A and B are shown apart, each in its own frame.
Chain A
Amino acid sequence: MLLRTAWRRVATAAPAAPGPRAKAPTRGLRLRGIDLTPQSAVPSDAATALEAESVLRPLYMDVQATTPLDPRVLDAMLPYLVNYYGNPHSRTHAYGWESEAAMECARQQVASLIGADPREIIFTSGATESNNIAIKELEAAIQPDTSLVSVMTVNNEIGVKQPIKEIGQICSSRKVYFHTDAAQAVGKIPLDVNDMKIDLMSISGHKIYGPKGVGAIYIRRRPRVRVEPLQSGGGQERGMRSGTVPTPLVVGLGAACEVAQQEMKYDHKRISKLAERLIQKIMTSLPDVVMNGDPEHHYPGCINLSFAYVEGESLLMALKDVALSSGSACTSASLEPSYVLRAIGTDEDLAHSSIRFGIGRFTTEEEVDYTVEKCIHHVKRLREMSPLWEMVQDGIDLKSIKWTQH
Chain B
Amino acid sequence: MMAAAGVGRLRRAASALLLRAPRLPARELSAPARLYHKKVVDHYENPRNVGSLDKTSKNVGTGLVGAPACGDVMKLQIQVDEKGKSVDARFKTFGCGSAIASSSLATEWVKGKTVEEALTIKNTDIAKELCLPPVKLHCSMLAEDAIKPALADYKLKQEPKTGEAKKK
List chain B residues, Cβ under 8 A from A9. 19
Closest to B52 in A: A390
Contact A6/B69 with A314-B95, A317-B44 known, Cβ cut-off 8 Å: no
Instruction: Tell me whether A348 and B68 are in contact (CB under 8 A).
Output: yes
A10 within 8 A of B: yes
Instruction: Tell me whether B15 and A387 are in contact (CB under 8 A).
Output: no
CA–CA, A35 to B31, complex, Å? 12
Main secondary structure, interface of B, reads: mixed
Contact A79/B23 with A38-B38, A314-B44, A328-B71 known, Cβ cut-off 8 Å: no
List chain B residues, Cβ under 8 A from A2. 11-12, 14-15
**Hey, what's the 0/1 contact readout for B1-23 against A, CB within 8 Å counting as 1?**
11100110011111110110101
Instruction: Tell me whether A320 and B41 are in contact (CB under 8 A).
Output: yes
Interface residues of A in 322-354 (CB under 8 A from B): 328-331, 333, 335, 337, 347-349, 352
B26 within 8 A of A: yes
CA–CA, A403 to B142, complex, Å? 13
Instruction: Tell me whether B18 and A7 are in contact (CB under 8 A).
Output: yes
CA–CA, A329 to B1, complex, Å? 48
Contact A36/B96 with A3-B11, A328-B71 known, Cβ cut-off 8 Å: no
Interface residues of A in 51-107 (CB under 8 A from B): 76, 78-79, 82-83, 105
List chain A residues, Cβ under 8 A from B66. 403-404, 406
B138 within 8 A of A: yes
Instruction: Tell me whether B135 and A384 are in contact (CB under 8 A).
Output: no
Instruction: Tell me whether A349 and B29 are in contact (CB under 8 A).
Output: no
List chain A residues, Cβ under 8 A from B70. 329, 348, 352, 405-406
Closest-CB distance, A103 to chain B (whole angstroms): 13
A388 within 8 A of B: yes
Closest-CB distance, A148 to chain B (whole angstroms): 35
A-B Cβ contacts below 8 A, count: 148
Contact A309/B69 with A5-B15, A10-B18 known, Cβ cut-off 8 Å: no
**Looking at the complex, which one of A82, A309, A333, A390 makes contact with B33 (CB distance below 8 Å)?**
A333
**Hey, what's the 0/1 contact readout for B68-86 against A, CB within 8 Å counting as 1?**
1111111100000000000
Instruction: Tell me whether B6 and A317 are in contact (CB under 8 A).
Output: no
A143 within 8 A of B: no
CA–CA, A78 to B10, complex, Å? 9
Instruction: Tell me whether B92 and A6 are in contact (CB under 8 A).
Output: no
A398 within 8 A of B: yes
List chain A residues, Cβ under 8 A from B47. 385
CA–CA, A271 to B27, complex, Å? 35
B109 within 8 A of A: no
**Looking at the complex, which one of B1, B37, B75, B97 makes contact with A387 (CB distance below 8 Å)?**
B75
Instruction: Tell me whether B36 and A34 are in contact (CB under 8 A).
Output: no
Closest-CB distance, B103 to chain A (whole angstroms): 10
B165 within 8 A of A: no
Contact A387/B11 with A317-B41, A328-B71 known, Cβ cut-off 8 Å: no
CA–CA, A389 to B92, complex, Å? 10
Instruction: Tell me whether A79 and B10 are in contact (CB under 8 A).
Output: yes
List chain B residues, Cβ under 8 A from A284. none
A37 within 8 A of B: yes
List chain B residues, Cβ under 8 A from A217. none
Q: Which of A310, A320, A389 has the most CB of B within 10 A?
A: A320
Closest-CB distance, A73 to chain B (whole angstroms): 13
Closest-CB distance, A217 to chain B (whole angstroms): 26
Closest to B75 in A: A387
List chain B residues, Cβ under 8 A from A231. none
Closest to A102 in B: B1
CA–CA, A297 to B27, complex, Å? 43
Instruction: Tell me whether A348 and B35 are in contact (CB under 8 A).
Output: no
List chain B residues, Cβ under 8 A from A83. 6, 10
List chain B residues, Cβ under 8 A from A1. 11
Instruction: Tell me whether B50 and A385 are in contact (CB under 8 A).
Output: yes
Instruction: Tell me whether A314 and B100 are in contact (CB under 8 A).
Output: yes
**Looking at the complex, which one of B23, B44, B67 makes contact with A404 (CB distance below 8 Å)?**
B67
CA–CA, A5 to B93, complex, Å? 48
B121 within 8 A of A: no
**Hey, what's the 0/1 contact readout for B113-143 against A, CB within 8 Å counting as 1?**
0000000000000000001000100100110
**Looking at the complex, which one of A47, A333, A335 makes contact with B38 (CB distance below 8 Å)?**
A47
> Which residues of A approach B to under 8 Å, CB–CB?
1-3, 5-7, 9-10, 14, 32, 34-38, 40, 47, 50, 76, 78-79, 82-83, 105, 309-314, 317-318, 320, 328-331, 333, 335, 337, 347-349, 352, 384-390, 398, 403-406
A105-B1, A406-B67 known; 13 new pairs, CB 8 Å cut-off, are A2-B14, A14-B23, A35-B26, A38-B37, A38-B38, A311-B96, A312-B71, A314-B97, A317-B41, A320-B41, A329-B71, A387-B94, A390-B92
The 5 closest A-B pairs by CB, nearest first: A349-B68, A403-B67, A352-B71, A6-B15, A313-B96
* Sample of 12 A–B contacts (CB below 8 Å): A2-B12, A2-B15, A3-B18, A38-B131, A40-B38, A79-B2, A79-B10, A318-B44, A320-B41, A348-B69, A385-B47, A388-B68
